[in-house]
Amino acid sequence: MTLEQFRWKGEFPKIGIRPTIDGRRKGVRESLEAQTMGMATAVAELLSSTLRYPNGKPVQCVIADSTIGGVAESAACAEKFAREGVGVSITVTPCWCYGSETMDMDPSIPKAVWGFNGTERPGAVYLAAVLAAHAQKGLPAFGIYGEDVQDAADTSIPEDVKAKLIAFAKAGLAVAYMKGKSYLSMGSVSMGIAGSIVNDNFLQEYLGMRTEYIDMSEFVRRMDEGIYDPEEFEKALAWVKDNCKEGVDNNPEEIQQPRELKDQNWETVVKMTMIARDLMVGNPRLDELGFGEEAQGHNAVVSGFQGQRQWTDHFPNGDFMEAMLNSSFDWNGIRAPYLVATENDFLNGVVMLFGNLLTNTAQIFADVRTYWSKESVKRVTGYDLEGYAKEGMLHLINSGSATLDGTGVQSKDGQPVMKPFWEISEEEAQKCLDATSWRPASVEYFRGGGYSSNFLTRGGMPMTMARLNLVKGIGPVLQIAEGYSVDLPDDVHQTLNDRTDPTWPTTWFAPILTGEGAFTSVYEVMNNWGANHGAISYGHIGADLITLASMLRIPVNMHNVAKERIFRPKAWSLFGTENLEGVDYRACENFGPLYK
């Protein structure tokens, strides 16, 4: 078994399609069988052809063995779904059905109902009735109802219905996939950063995840005792020497590390990368080497590495390890990224996981470091900001841990993108490597040395920055800012970048302003950001994040997503139809964590 095959433990959650029908026989039910089952088949084909699992394979759908006209058939469907590993439920119908008898009653499975908009049979009436039942029973469901009336014989899925089905399914699969997985805390709290105080209650109650812990001394044990694949290490070290060019050392000459120590550090950071991966997902090769326990891993879909300061005061920093694992390729070729949060900021790591599951792309971890107003840029450089950045921009930069996909040198239709791993070519992976240099770490920060990735993100990419915060008395709160990466003239970038640590990767980011709330100015976005870190995903995925957050009962305190793009459970409207931020808070508080 290969490492990639071993990595994906168990079955991926499937989407269950529930075709419900009017149970009255002797003419009514019989006339609706073909149309109802046809809706189910069409939804299954749409989702299987559109969505993919994190390993790149098409999403699987399971359809009930029969249409569901009453409670017995509903129970049979539930039994089949449990047997088949269904994690997301979609009920479809063109007609009136018996709501509380045919509804999905599983409280932990995200659920949606598509009621056909036709005049021949009252599918919309059932939709309204069953959504009322869901709200009354405390099982919030998403309602899907096409804007335009369709003819009874029309077997197509309207575009607005398709969009909602896909949005619901993407978020629902993310919820289902996280359940039962682990967050691996490698070390503890880094430099007093609140996000690295790992809260296992949040992970358990809101995401259905467990928390696994190791001390960073486990890295030392595995290096000292040779608990890694020695053949892979030699292969990896040779690959690194060929593909990871070492950049200029910015340290004062008198404190620069000697060449011998730098070479030793390269060996150490490569071993750290292999060990962190093996800790997360295991490695069958370790079993062959006599390390059966270590071969199992911690079933972690995301992890965090404390690093500072107990590790980095003595050993090379974790920048190389984090950057390579977060990327979509390494010495073993192109593969799905492993998600590792810098400084063990599990709250940022969780948002990286959200973004990855919604897009299947690598995620950028960054400090939300500096707000640059157009006046400040003009004063320092003489340059007038323009384009996306004409009202100012944010400097996103962290200590060299960002994914190399974040260089933006992958392309589609001539535009810079970050792709799912199965779309990335060998040439594009090499371009990411060529666009990155590895700068010797600042030994004033990192006494043990190491290497930080250094690159500049290409401008023009649609991006979404998000952050999860924990608030005493409220719980988790999500914030979202859609925007674009920005290109600057080389000399302007250099002048601004040199004012901080120029050995780290930079993304210039301009959030989209709406003129309302926290998005009246770029300054207000920065001023309302809840922590020092942000997770950045390719694409404008704010609406998908809002849908996912509602499933998990996590309110969103700031976002710049247009109202018409927002898709939440129907019950949310029963908490009010104005001041939607307040509505979201009340609904999430009322229904509570998904797994509590």
Instruction: Give residue 347's pLDDT.
Output: 98
506 and 558 in a single domain? The answer is: yes
pLDDT greater than 90 at residue 596: no
Q: Share the mean pLDDT of the chain.
A: 96
| Dist. CA 471–CA 345, nearest whole Å | 15
Residue 232: CB partners within 8 Å, gap ≥ 6? Answer: 274, 285, 331, 332
Check: CB of residue 344 under 8 Å from CB of residue 183.
no
Crossing angle (nearest 10°) for helices 542-552 and 346-359: 110
- Looking up residue 514, the CATH number of its domain turns out to be 3.20.14.10
Per residue, the 3-state secondary structure of 491-536, as one string, reads HHHHHHHCCCCCCCCEEEEEECCCCCHHHCCHHHHHHHCCCCEEEE
Contacts of 169 (CB under 8 A, 6+ apart): 15, 47, 51, 59, 88, 90
Per DSSP, 96 falls in state -
| Whether residue 367 lies in the annotated active site | yes
What confidence tier does 45 reach under pLDDT thresholds 50, 70, 90?
A: very high
Residues 109 and 193 in one domain: no
* Neighbouring-strand partners of residue 393: 372
Please give the pLDDT value at position 123.
Answer: 79
Given this model, what pLDDT does residue 119 score? 80
How many structural domains are present in the chain? Answer: 2
For residues 233 and 277, the answer to whether their CB atoms sit within 8 Å is no
* Cβ contact 369:226 at 8 Å: no
> pLDDT-based confidence at 154, cuts 50/70/90?
confident
* Res. 5: pLDDT tops 90: no
Instruction: Tell me the residue range of the domain where 366 lies.
Output: 182-591
343 is catalytic: yes
On whether both 201 and 172 belong to a single domain, the answer is no
| Residue 122 pLDDT greater than 80, yes or no | no
Please state, in angstroms and rounded to a whole number, the distance separating the CA atoms of residues 430 and 226: 30
Q: Specify the pLDDT at position 246.
A: 97
Q: Would strands 475-485 and 506-511 be described as parallel, antiparallel, or unpaired?
A: antiparallel
- Chain-centroid distance of CA 513 in Å reads 23
pLDDT of residue 2: 86
Say yes or no: 18 and 56 in one domain.
yes
> For residue 378, is it within any domain?
yes
Domain presence at residue 509: yes
Q: Does 394 have pLDDT greater than 80?
A: yes
Q: Which residue has the higher pLDDT, 474 or 119?
A: 474
As beta bridge partners, residue 370 has: 395
Q: Once rounded to an integer, what is the mean pLDDT over residues 478-490? A: 98
Structure tokens that stand for 415 in this block: 């535009």
461 occurs within a structural domain: yes
Q: In three state form, how does the secondary structure of 350-378 look?
A: HHHHHHHHHHCCCCEEEEEEEEECHHHHH
- Per the annotation, binding residues for Mn(2+) are 343, 367, 533
Which of 18-32, 118-132, 151-165 shows the lowest mean pLDDT across its residues?
A: 118-132
Check residue 456 and give its pLDDT.
98
Assess if residue 204 is contained within a domain: yes
25: three-class secondary structure by DSSP: coil
Tell me which of 73, 343, 405, 487 is the catalytic residue.
Answer: 343
206 in the same domain as 164:
no
3-class DSSP state of 552: helix
Pairwise CA distance, residues 201 & 152, whole Å = 49
What average pLDDT score do residues 410-437 get?
98
Binding-site residues, in ranges, read 343, 367, 533
* H/E run at residue 5: helix 3-7
pLDDT at 74 over 80: yes
Flag the least confident range among 57-61, 382-386, 443-447: 443-447
Q: Are residues 238 and 158 in the same domain?
A: no
Please choose, from the candidates 282, 257, 273, 269, the residue with its C-alpha nearest in 3D space to the C-alpha of residue 327: 273
| 199 and 99 assigned to the same domain | no
Domain closes at, from 178, 208, 224: 178
| pLDDT number for residue 423 | 98
> How much is the average pLDDT of 26-37?
94
pLDDT value at residue 390: 98
> Exactly one of 278, 330, 367, 487 is catalytic; which is it?
367
243/94 same-domain check = no
- The answer to whether residue 140 is domain-embedded is yes
Q: DSSP string covering 366-414, please?
A: EEEEEEE-HHHHHHHH-----GGGTT-EEEEE-SS-S-GGGG--EEETT
SS (H, E, C) 110-168: CEEEEECCECCCCHHHHHHHHHHHHHHCCCCCEEECCCCCECCCCCCCCHHHHHHHHHH
Q: Residue 118's pLDDT band (boundaries 50, 70, 90)?
A: confident
Residues 542-583 have pLDDT tens digits of 999 999 999 999 999 999 999 999 999 999 999 999 999 999
* 475 φ/ψ angles, rounded to the nearest 5 degrees: 105, -150
What are 115's strand-pairing partners?
93
Instruction: Give the end of a domain, one of 118, 144, 178.
Output: 178
Is 434 part of a structural domain of the chain? yes
What is the average per-residue pLDDT within 113-128? 87
Same-domain check for residues 93 and 143: yes
Do 507 and 543 lie in one domain? The reply is: yes
CA–CA separation, 80 vs 63, rounded Å? 9
Give yes or no: residues 174 and 204 share one domain: no
Residue 596 lies inside a defined structural domain of this protein: no
On whether the CB atoms of residues 88 and 110 are closer than 8 A, the answer is yes
Please identify, among 148, 178, 208, the residue that sits at the C-terminal boundary of a domain. Answer: 178
365-384 exposure pattern, b = at least 16 Cβ within 10 A, e = fewer: bbbbbebbbbeebeeebebe
pLDDT grade, residue 515 (50/70/90)?
very high
pLDDT value of position 501: 87
Residue 397 lies in a domain: yes
CATH number at residue 156: 3.40.50.1070
Answer yes or no: do 201 and 134 share one domain. Answer: no
Whether the predicted pLDDT of 587 surpasses 90: yes
Using 50, 70 and 90 to split pLDDT, how confident is the model at 232?
very high
* 8 A C-beta contact, residue 48 and residue 92: no
- pLDDT beyond 90 at 332: yes
Q: Are 546 and 568 in contact (CB under 8 A)?
A: yes
| Contact call for residues 546 and 566 (beta carbons, < 8 A) | yes
